[in-house]
């Protein structure tokens, strides 16, 4: 049985339900979900209906991790240790406003699996910039314009920051690689203590592309090296495991040109310096982590 059921109001082609379905199908019904305010919550919990077939609690925007901490401790005290506690946070509720709560939860070592569904902006409120927004992307609060290239700050390395808390398991995943995501969820569930899985979820509405390209774009993010799939136990980055190494890594333009939020880098004229900078950072990152085969 699908634990995140049909009838939810996500946009056609939204990657969040693809990820949530995979996570919950892996976790099974003995799971309590905690979700913070964002697209996922709003499309699935409109009273009196709910898309969730597992018990779920939503409290506020910045505290999926703290609410999950409370749930996990209560379950432990009431003798229900076997129930999974999975917290779903958007990039807004994880990178920015929820950063404190996530850090606190990880530091205290709660047995909570935190899944960050990252669509790289505050999508639910209309595509505003977040610290997860990549360099060069146009959002409604960092729009491309005559004097602006869009977002002018690099993406906050959230998974690395979480791994630096020396937690038992950190990983990155994306919807194009469902088996990889499921395997990582399985590892997280079987590892005692906090886990953090950073899932890139393309958004047709916010990234501006036709709805059928979601998986294709998610795959391109990995194939261009923009999003690296890795996992790590503890905080020693020497032990990082790249779970998808790339043969013949594609140039970043292959990824950028598919999305309207990067359109200003190509039209009316090509902003080569921005594209070069993006390519350079990707090249350095792939070299550092040994992504290329």
Partner 1 sequence: MTKLTIRGNMATALGAKLCRPDVIPAYPITPSTLFPEKISEYIADGELDAEMIRVESEHSAMSACIGASAAGARVCTASASQGIALMSEMLFIAAGMRLPIVMAVGNRALSAPINIWCDHQDTISQRDTGWLQFYAEKNQEGLDLMIIAFKVCEDKRVLLPAMVGIDAFVLTHTIEAVDVPDQKLVDEFLPKYEPELRLDPEKPMTFGSFGTPEFYQEFKYMQTEAMEKAREVIDEVFAEFKKKFGREYRKITPYKCEDADVIILTMGSMSGTARAAVNKMREEGKKVGCCKLTVYRPFPAKEIVELTKNAKVVAVLDRDISPGFGGALYGEVSAAFVNEEKHPFITNYIIGLGGRDILIKDFEWIYERSMDVIKKGRVEKPVQWVNLNEEVL
Partner 2 sequence: MVKVTLGAVNKIAGSSKNYKTGDWRTLKPVIDLEKCKKCWACYKYCPEGCIEKTEKGPIVDYDFCKGCGICANECPFKAIEMIMEER
Query: Judged by CB under 8 A, how many residues of this single chain contact partner 1?
Result: 43
Rule CB under 8 A: which of 177-196 touch partner 2?
Answer: 178
Alpha carbons within 13 A on the beta-carbon side of 79: 0
How far apart are the C-alpha atoms of 62 and 97, rounded to whole Å? 5
Binding flag, residue 10, partner 2 (CB under 8 A) = yes
Instruction: Give the range of 27-35, 138-146, 154-162, 215-223 binding partner 1 by CB under 8 A.
Output: 27-35
Looking at 100, 107, 145, 212, which residue binds partner 2 (CB under 8 A)? 212
Buried b (16+ CB within 10 A) or exposed e, 216-236: ebbbbbbbbbbbbbbbbbeee
| DSSP-based three-state secondary structure for 74 | helix
On whether the CB atoms of residues 163 and 232 are closer than 8 A, the answer is yes
Instruction: Give the range of 42-50, 118-126, 131-139, 246-254 binding partner 1 by CB under 8 A.
Output: 42-50
How much is the CA Rg of the chain, to the nearest whole Å?
18
Rule CB under 8 A: which of 105-124 touch partner 2?
Answer: none
Looking at 19, 22, 58, 88, which residue binds partner 1 (CB under 8 A)? 58
Q: Looking at the DSSP assignment, which residues form a beta bridge with residue 89? A: 116
Instruction: Give the range of 14-22, 100-108, 136-144, 228-236 binding partner 2 by CB under 8 A.
Output: 14-22
Binding mask 71-90 for partner 1 (x = CB under 8 A): xxxxxxxx----x-------
Query: Judged by CB under 8 A, how many residues of this single chain contact partner 2?
Result: 37
Rule CB under 8 A: which of 48-77 touch partner 2?
Answer: 48-54
Q: Which is nearer to partner 1, 58 or 261 (CB)?
A: 58
How far apart are the C-alpha atoms of 88 and 80, rounded to whole Å? 21
Rounded to 10 degrees, the C-alpha dihedral 27/132/205/128 comes to: 130
Looking at 32, 123, 137, 144, which residue binds partner 1 (CB under 8 A)? 32
Q: Which of 183, 143, 174 is nearest to 27 (CA)?
A: 183
On whether the CB atoms of residues 251 and 278 are closer than 8 A, the answer is no
Residues that bind partner 1 (CB under 8 A): 29-32, 34, 41-42, 45-48, 50, 52-60, 62-63, 66-78, 83, 100-101, 103-104, 107-108
């Amino acid at each position: 049985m699908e634990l995140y059921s049909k009838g939810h109001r996500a946009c056609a082609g939204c990657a969040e339900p693809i990820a949530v379905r995979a996570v919950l199908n892996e976790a099974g019904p003995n799971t309590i979900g905690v979700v913070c305010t964002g697209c996922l919550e709003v499309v699935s919990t409109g009273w009196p209906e709910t898309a969730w077939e597992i018990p779920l609690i939503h409290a506020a925007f910045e505290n999926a991790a703290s609410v999950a901490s409370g749930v996990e401790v209560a379950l432990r005290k009431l003798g229900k240790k076997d129930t999974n506690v999975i917290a779903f946070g958007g990039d807004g509720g994880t990178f920015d406003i929820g950063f404190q709560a996530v850090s606190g939860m990880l530091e205290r070592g709660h047995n909570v699996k935190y899944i960050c569904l990252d669509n790289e902006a505050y999508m639910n409120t209309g595509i505003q910039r977040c610290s997860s927004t990549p360099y060069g992307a146009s959002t409604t609060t960092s729009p491309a314009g005559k004097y602006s290239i869009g977002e002018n700050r690099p993406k906050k390395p959230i998974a690395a920051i979480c791994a630096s808390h020396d937690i038992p398991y950190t990983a990155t995943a994306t919807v194009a690689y469902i088996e990889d995501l499921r395997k990582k969820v399985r590892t997280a569930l079987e590892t005692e203590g906090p886990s953090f899985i950073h899932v890139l979820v393309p958004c047709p509405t916010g990234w501006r592309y036709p709805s059928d390209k979601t998986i294709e774009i998610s795959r391109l993010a990995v194939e261009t090296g923009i999003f690296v799939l890795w996992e790590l136990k503890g905080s020693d980055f020497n032990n990082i495991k790249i779970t998808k190494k790339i043969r013949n890594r594609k140039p970043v333009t292959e990824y950028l040109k598919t999305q309207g939020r990067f359109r200003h880098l190509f039209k009316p004229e090509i902003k080569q310096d921005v594209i070069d900078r993006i390519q350079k950072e990707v090249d350095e990152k792939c070299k550092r982590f040994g992504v290329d085969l």
